Amino acid sequence: MRNLRHLDQYRVEHPMAGWGDEKNGCFELRLEGSRLLFRVIASSGHDWEHVSVSTTERCPRWNEMEQIKRLFFEPYETVMQLHPPESAYVNIHPNCLHLWRPVKQEIPMPPLWMV
């Protein structure tokens, strides 16, 4: 995950995220090409980096998640949206998607021609 200090102007208080530091915090921002306000919670711990992205109106779209990925992660980092078994679903917020990155291992990638 990038050092998030470049996003300090978008930081907001959040009961679970607090003010945050260079790897954690809650942010409210608008993305290029969208009128929506995005709430983004970044956290790092237990060998994972995690970013949740939500709006009050709908789920974020692919291009919006891609913009968030560029803001919160380094260009060389691979992150994933995880689709667990249905028995493990947790849906606290209906308009929220997540980006995940394990810290101690690389995410396996298929051959580039398949991506």
Sequence spans of domains, the chain: 4-105
Per-residue pLDDT 10s for the chain (115 aa) are 999 999 999 999 877 656 678 889 999 999 999 999 999 999 999 999 999 999 999 999 999 999 999 999 999 999 999 988 988 888 778 899 999 999 999 999 999 999 8
Measured CA to CA, the distance from residue 24 to residue 41 in angstroms comes to 7
Of residues 20, 31, 39, 36, the one with CA closest to residue 63 = 31
Whether the CB-CB separation of 81 and 59 falls below 8 Å is answered with no
pTM of the model: 0.89
CATH topology of domain 4-105: Streptococcus thermophilus LMG 18311 protein like (3.40.1720)
